[in-house]
Structure 1
Amino acid sequence: MMKVAFVVKINYEAIISTAYHVNILRFFSKNYDLTVLTNAVSFFKKQGLRAKYVQLHYLPFPSISHYLINDYIINSKLRKLDYDLLVIWYDSLLSFPSKKPVFRLVDICPYQSIGYSTKDDRIRFDQRIIFNMFMRSFKKSSFILTVSPQLKQFLVDYGVPEHKIRWLPHGVDLERFRRMETRKTKEYILISTVQFLQNRGSDIIIEGMKKLSTLDKNIKFVSVGNAEKQFRKWNPVLRKMKLENQIILYGVVDNKKIPEFLAKADIGVSFLEKNEYYDKSPPQKLFEYMAMGLPTIANDLPTHTQFIRDGYNGLIVDSAEELVEAVLKLKNDQKLYERMSKNALKEAKKYSLTKIEEKLKKYVESLLNE
């Protein structure tokens, strides 16, 4: 059996968003002799993956030296391993030589990795150096898999050879995420399985829920996956606005429990700030919403509208007023709701984890057989 060394880092404040990581690692554990080098050994062990583990301790990324030190740590661990393919899902500069093929997984814009926002007047000198080193590392890679065509094009625009890059969307486990029986409850729940943040639409949601609460107290918004600091920030604000019973925050939960939350919801919500990051990285939750038969209300971004078609499996809005209108439209028109729900289920089948894994295996096998 082919041996794969897989380097992956996760953010413990965003455990809820690691479903894609777990799905990919599960694929490799089923098909190859897998060794995972990660900062989250205990987390991945709980997922029941068939793999060996090597604990990594990363330095934060404020400087070039920290990036290089992290690469040195990774390389020192890899030298002790025997493997046929190196998979990197981590902000590595690949500053060390690799005698084996390197398979890079890219699910965020490299601008995000270096902490650069296009809202800034200009990129800092140190950020520019790190960014250029990133681009060189991508060019050195044998194969790159991105999660969107936009992310692929970004790399091509910066000189990464197009023939090295493929894109493959997020997959969803249709066995775990599937529509439940119709709920019988007075509450009408909007849900977002992500932290309640300003760059995730908190302002629009608050303004929208203010209006909706005056029209129907049974309409609730639920946010799942919040770090402790979000409770400290938002609980006083929501109490002051008298929205603590309309906007309900839950903490970080294991992705295994997400279907339970979605089963109690009526509408999935995804608002993302319009920037270089979110324009290129589609959220995993879209596919989970669809698999549960939830119409999705989202704002107008390429990584939303590529999967959520206005009036078909969801509604596209860009303001609090439009959010209110969309919620009431779905709540008051049961035929429209059911049609969108059926369309969401139909779309979800295109992104079944089984289909995604079949394509992924072709890419890996072609690289190993070169």
Structure 2
Amino acid sequence: MHILFLTDNFPPEVNAPASRTYEHAREWVKLGAQVTIITCAPNFPQGKVFEGYRNRLRSVEDMDGIRVIRVWTYITANEGIYKRTLDYVSFMLSAFIASFGVRKVDVIIGTSPQFFTAISAFLVSLTKRRPWIFELRDLWPASIKAVGAIKDGPVLSALQAVERFLYQRATRIITVTHAFREELMARGIDGSKIDVITNGADLSRFQPLERPQKLAQSLGLENFFVAGYVGTHGLAHALETLLEAAAILQADQGTSHVRIVLLGDGARKPALLKLASELELKNVIFIDSVSKADVPQYWALLDVSIIHLKRDPVFTTVIPSKLFECMAMGLPVLHGVEGESADIVRREGVGETFAPQNPGELAAHLARLANSPATLAAYSENCLAAARRYDRKALASAMLDIITRTA
């Protein structure tokens, strides 16, 4: 079977869509499928093409048996709705054109968050007369409305109309949360064509590691309790909450041994650096994005991971993929996201939840856990037990079964 997969994020990018697509496709190849990925030159989130790549009209590479076709796009940083939309539309068109060079396809998959990629997948399915699957990773455009990037009006209404059209015309929809499925069914989409394949973790790559002492020393983190956020610094993540919590901890003599690390890049990073300077924070360390291969070493620096999203009803339907990577690493979480993902944290006993955008509550959790090694050890043990239920290999196999039935 030949799967044509359209995604505008793919390794060496390290965000959640890139990791999910690569890890699934790698397993599908091992299971005997032929997989062709159409993507763009890696540039997320800074809008700068990664070293060793160029923004060409077309280039082809092999990655673990996956044929990867990279196409030209308008590249911009992950900020500004209009420039980002140009980026999305350019990929939609370039991916559609590139698809004519891919022969004997059995099924087409287009993945979100934004749905211009899904539009391209729909168009490809028409030209090739093959079924197509909408992999729904985000309720877009609701999520961009939630962060204030777009307001109610004719533009939003038009986007919502396109969204409904794609849901209706998709042969199948694969969502990453049960809440997404329920939301689509509430909108009148046939539930019999919606499947759920949650995010997970690559257990061969994410596993418990000793704290890397040389790295800790280079960052000045020796003999400290280290909490950290790893991921995109975007509008949706409201990371000002972490800095405000750090200010509370810095003012308390009893938490002078606590440090907070923020690793990654994104639209809000300059503002976060400015705020940290204004608050004169000495207990916060910013680290730029690192390669996918190095991410586990930085997870291993932490005693507890902080996962956070803005407080908005839209984000109650989201399950951040880093939650599963933390489980696989045996890393307890402080979870500032409401809804389905918080239910997982509580059900699996892998950490504690706090109200999003509540720095006082976050600071109180950090202060207590920094002096509770037994509690952290129990959470860590639960993490490792739970991770086996979210093994990316098993999830990829389940998704391939759905794809095969659809084809």
TM-score (norm 1): 0.86
Distance 1:274 1:45, change over 3 A: farther
TM-aligned CA distance change 1:311 to 1:204, over 3 Å:
farther
Please give the residue correspondences for 1:259-338 in structure 2 after superposition, counting only pairs within 5 Å.
259-309=296-346, 312-318=349-355, 319-338=358-377
Q: 1:72 to 1:195 in 2, by over 3 A?
A: closer
Equivalent residue of 1:309, what SS?
Answer: helix
Q: Which residue of 2 aligns with 1:38?
A: 39
Contact 2:26 2:66 in 1 (8 A): no
> Which of 66, 83, 104 does residue 51 from structure 1 map onto?
66
1:278 partner SS: helix
| Equivalent residue, structure 2, for 1:159 | 188
The letter for the 1-side match of 2:382 is: N
Alignment of 1:174-193 (within 5 A): 174-181=203-210, 185-193=222-230
Deviation per residue, 1:213-251 (Å, 9 max, x gap): 233332111111114x655433343233221x3111111
CA contact (8 A) 2:239 2:272 kept: no
Structure 1 residue 57: Cα displacement: 3.0
Matches within 5 A, 1:9-88: 9-10=8-9, 15-17=14-16, 18-30=18-30, 31-40=32-41, 48-58=63-73, 62=82, 71-82=92-103, 83-88=105-110
Alignment RMSD: 3.2
Q: CA deviation at 1:126?
A: 2.6
CA contact (8 A) 1:22 1:47 kept: no
Mapped to 2, the partners of 1:68 and 1:95 lie a distance apart of 13
Go from structure 1 to structure 2 and tell me whether the alpha carbon gap of 1:202 and 1:120 turns closer, same or farther (over 3 Å shift): closer
Which amino acid in structure 2 is aligned with residue 359 of structure 1? A
**Percent identity of paired positions between Structure 1 and Structure 2:** 16
- 1:145 and 1:167 in contact (8 A); partners too: yes
Question: What is the Cα deviation at residue 72 of structure 1?
Answer: 4.8
Inter-CA distance 350–46: structure 2 relative to 1 (3 Å threshold): farther
Identify if the C-alpha distance between structure 1 residues 136 and 196 changes in structure 2 by more than 3 Å, giving closer, same or farther: closer
Query: 2:397, 2:28 → 1: CA distance?
Result: 12
Contact 1:207–1:320 at 8 Å: present in 2 too? yes
The number of residue pairs the alignment matches comes to 364
**What is the alpha-carbon distance in structure 1 between the residues aligned to residue 233 and residue 158 of structure 2?**
33
**Amino acid across the alignment from 2:264:** G
Structure-1 separation of matches of 2:376 and 2:86: 53
Task: Please give the alpha-carbon distance, in whole angstroms, between the structure 2 residues aligned to 1:336 and 1:79.
Answer: 56
1:65-117 CA distance string (max 9 Å, x none): 9977765543333233221111112423235625111122111112257x433
CA contact (8 A) 2:334 2:354 kept: yes
Q: Tell me the residue number matched to 1:233.
A: 271
Aligned counterpart, 1:141: 170
Secondary structure of 1:151's aligned partner = helix
1:9 aligned partner, one-letter code:
D
Q: Of residues 389, 394, 398 in structure 2, which corresponds to 1:350?
A: 389
The match for 2:218 is none
Residue 289 of structure 2 corresponds to residue 252 of structure 1 = yes
The residue that corresponds to 1:7 in the other structure is: 6
What amino acid is aligned across from residue 306 of structure 2 in structure 1? V
| Equivalent AA in structure 1 for residue 193 of structure 2 | K
State TM-score, norm by structure 2.
Answer: 0.79
Partner of 2:49: none
Moved more, 103-112 or 145-154: 103-112
CA distance in 1, matches of 2:68, 2:154: 37
Aligned to 1:220: 259
The partner residue of 2:131 within 101, 115, 126 is 101
